[in-house]
């Protein structure tokens, strides 16, 4: 199993993603441990997350982004 790449988005871009997809506005959702970059469903995808808007620490949730930049799923348990 090959782990997915994780990218921390700049604040402005993270805020835009949250505004559109945050608060459960996207399905499906996966646990980070379920994602295998060799699996054809996830090949060429990356996991994106950012800093918590209140605490400033990195979030443990994020989103699965396809190779063309489209957010396609939520991701829980993102390592920080």
Cα dihedral value 12, 13, 19, 25, nearest 10: -160
> Taken in order 2, 46, 7, 79, is the CA torsion positive or negative?
negative
CA angle 10, 11, 17 (to 5 degrees): 90
Backbone phi and psi for residue 78, each to the nearest 5 degrees, phi listed first: -70, 125
Q: What pTM, to 2 d.p., does this model score?
A: 0.92
Residues for the chain: how many in total?
Answer: 80
Residues 24-75: tens digit of each pLDDT: 899 999 999 999 999 999 999 999 999 998 888 999 999 999 999 999 999 9
């Amino acid at each position: 199993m090959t782990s997915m790449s994780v990218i921390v988005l700049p604040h402005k871009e993270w805020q835009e993603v949250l505004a559109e997809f945050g608060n459960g506005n996207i399905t499906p959702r996966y646990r980070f441990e379920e994602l295998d970059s060799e699996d054809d469903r996830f090949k060429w995808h990356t996991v994106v997350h950012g800093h918590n808007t209140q605490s400033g620490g990195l979030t443990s949730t994020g989103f699965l982004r396809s190779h063309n930049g489209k957010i396609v799923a939520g991701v829980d348990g993102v390592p920080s």
